[in-house]
Amino acid sequence: MCGIVGAVAQRDIVEVLLEGLRRLEYRGYDSAGVAVINDSQNLRRVRRMGKVKTLADAIAESPTPGGTGIAHTRWATHGEPSEDNAHPHVSGDIAVVHNGIIENHEKLREELQDQGYTFTSQTDTEVIAHLVERELRDSTSLLNAVMAARSLLEGAYGMVVINRTDPERMVVARSGSPLVVGHGIGENFIASDQLALLPVTRKFSYLEEGDVAEITRTEIRIFDAGNEPATREAHESDVEHDAGDKGEFRHHMMKEIYEQPVAIANTLEGRLVGGKLNLESLGDLSNIDQVQIIACGTSYHAGMTARYWIEELAGIACNVEIASEFRYRKSVVRPNSLLVTISQSGETADTLAALRLAKETGYDRAITICNVPGSSLVRESDMALLTRAGAEIGVASTKAFTTQLTALMLLTAGLGRANGMNKESESRIAEALLKLPALIEKAIGMDGAIKDLAEHFAEKHHALFLGRGDQYPIAMEGALKLKEISYIHAEAYAAGELKHGPLALIDSEMPIIVVAPNNELIEKLKSNIEEVRARGGELFVFADEKLSIRPESNMKVMSVPHCDDIIAPVLYTLPLQLLSYHVAVIKGTDVDQPRNLAKSVTVE
Ligand code: G6P
């Protein structure tokens, strides 16, 4: 979603801002803009529809140097994507960039219009610019003006404000939208994601909810929600500097698919030692009678898979719910309940809100399975199990998902151990996890064959995915991947539901993708396959290499490496990721930044 970069420096900062925006492109956006204050105290703003490259070209044609500046990529919420609606927004000497949604913007807009302010955009953000401008008239500093303005705002924001007449500082505020301060030498930075600033610093402080900060070249002063001075520790980032590079790959998504064996090995490091599970770092998992998992999107599918594992292997009751549903209904919390949030970014607005709500409603403990250390979910949970997948740039989640599944299997083992799981089950989990990176490597070997298979989907408008048991969520994830990046309408069904509706859709135009591992449900799945064949459906079956499913007319069979059934959901994810990737490439869509989607959904 929207991205923010800001800097106060002595040198010309424009290229740093543009590079920061490029590094945030993966989040999804529709327009971009920059505002800088130059040595003669002129405020110059450039905004463009479309890509950061268009903005950079415009700036290259008419250079606009300056040492203090703010930049933004916008993902439209209020007001269509257009140059007028792009950030920064300006009011008099004030320029503002903002992530989030100001919920009382209509009331504030009316009030400001009555006071003579003219609006030039349809955005909610423009009220912030006018409010700060108004408050500055009665304030002694930009800091005080921003503090006064934010007390009038309802909703979510991460914002950065600069003032033409006071060029050596920016004031930033956070409520519901992440901001990270980058510490430089004789210069300082702000961004919505540390990735944006990795070329200029590795030292970061995360702002907390309600924080306001005044940033100059040499000083960072932070104040908490009550406007009291606060200290936010600085951390050295260990994210690779070139995390944004595609290397030899054409797309980030493919690079990230290929990174999965290493990413999973990283998830397991120190947690699976000498073939034995080392689960101390999971914290206290004793006395848990109920697990509630909360997540969105792909992370929700990881949670759905884990429910099968937690109930079957750990013997603990488990519910899974989409965060946006959970947060707006009354749910019953049983004693001794563990809340598990799952999130790649750790900043998804609904998941974060669900965690905060759950903390008020009596959950015993809250653990997050998350990929971003220092993210809001990690900081606000009692425990964090980091997935260590490395930066994921492609909007469609791949390595974040399989590492979430790996972490969730570790959590299952931890819960099981605390709940009296027998030694055999624990050894089985350890052995399955130990073999996983090599198995994933083998599954990647299916790439060439899947590329050929993808040709069959290029002209299709719909697809149906079928799975059973813990492979049903994998079918859902396969359908999500296909729709996200190839724009083919795809649905997933638990195969047993076939007769209750989707069978009516089957004809020769409807490809049906079946995930068929080697477990006790296979005979039932084979009957489902026959039901589809009998109606002329075109089948694509991903089946364990040891299974005797023979290719037939209208039925292609792809052999998947044999593995222990408990870990099969992770393995079968791979061919489905590769399939959606190749279909998208054939269709010529924007694989890494699919239309209308955002990587990190920081507004509800
Ligand atoms: C967006 C992304 C998905 C992701 C979902 C949840 O929709 O495009 O890939 O699964 O958000 O994000 P999270 O960061 O909480 O896992």
Output the pLDDT for position 520.
Answer: 74
Q: Given 3-state DSSP classes, what are the helix, strand and coil percentages for the chain, each rounded to the nearest 5?
A: 40, 25, 40
* Separation between Cα atoms, residue 599 and residue 596, nearest integer Å: 10
- Residue-wise pLDDT tens digits, 102-146: 999 999 999 999 999 999 999 999 999 999 999 999 999 999 999
Domain covering 442-594: architecture? 3-Layer(aba) Sandwich (3.40)
At 265, is the pLDDT very low, low, confident or very high (cuts 50, 70, 90)?
very high
Confidence band for 64, pLDDT divided at 50, 70 and 90: confident
In the reported structure, the alpha carbon of residue 559 is separated from the centroid of ligand 1 by a whole-number distance in angstroms of: 30
- CATH topology for 3-236? Glutamine Phosphoribosylpyrophosphate, subunit 1, domain 1 (3.60.20)
Residue 587 among the catalytic residues: no
State pLDDT tens for residues 471-491: 999 999 999 999 999 999 999
298 CA distance to ligand 1 middle (Å): 6
Q: How far is the centre of ligand 1, averaged over its atoms, from the C-alpha of 304 (Å)?
A: 15
3.40.50.10490, 3.30.70.270, 3.40.640.10, 3.40.10.10: CATH of 247-421: 3.40.50.10490
pLDDT tens readout for residues 326-354:
999 988 888 999 999 999 999 899 999 99
Q: Is the pLDDT assigned to residue 517 strictly greater than 80?
A: no
Question: Quick one: which atom of ligand 1 is closest to the CA of 597?
Answer: 8
Q: What count of Cα atoms within 13 Å lies in the side-chain half-sphere of residue 9?
A: 25
Pocket of ligand 1 (CB under 6 A): 296-299, 343-345, 348, 351, 395, 397, 597, 599-601
Task: Write down the pTM of the prediction.
Answer: 0.79
For ligand 1, atom 7, which residue shows the shortest CA distance? 297
Q: Residue 468 in contact with residue 497, Cβ under 8 Å?
A: no
How far, in Å, CA of 388 to CA of 474, rounded?
21
The larger pLDDT score, comparing residue 431 to residue 1, is at: 431
User: Of 155-159, 238-242, 272-276, 567-571, where does mean pLDDT reach its minimum?
Assistant: 238-242
Is the CB of residue 409 less than 8 Å from the CB of residue 540?
no
Burial (0-12, 13-18, 19+ Cβ within 10 Å), 434: middle
519 pLDDT exceeds 90? no
Catalytic residue among 2, 296, 318, 370: 2
Q: How does the average pLDDT of the chain come out, rounded?
A: 93
Which among 573, 564, 572, 576 has a CA at the least distance from the CA of 313?
A: 564
Contact call for residues 429 and 409 (beta carbons, < 8 A): yes
pLDDT at 350: 94
Could you give the 3-state DSSP secondary structure of residue 5? strand
- The residue that leads in pLDDT, 533 or 454, is 454
Give the pLDDT band (50/70/90) at residue 243: low
369 three-state secondary structure: strand
**Alpha helices (runs of H) in 288-363, residue ranges in sequence order:** 297-309, 323-326, 349-360
> How much of the chain exceeds pLDDT 90, in percent?
77
Ligand 1 centre to CA of 93 (Å) is: 37
Q: Closest Cα partner for 246 from 259, 234, 235, 237?
A: 259
Q: Which one of 51, 442, 460, 599 is the catalytic residue?
A: 599
Of 252, 347, 600, the one to substitute when testing ligand 1's pocket (max ligand atoms within 8 A of C-beta) is: 600
- The answer to whether the 3-236 and 247-421 domains have the same CATH topology is no
CA gap 213, 220 in Å, rounded? 7
Are 283 and 386 a contacting pair, CB within 8 Å?
no
534-549: average pLDDT: 87
The domain limits of the chain are 3-236, 247-421, 442-594
> Mean pLDDT, to the nearest integer, of 56-71?
94
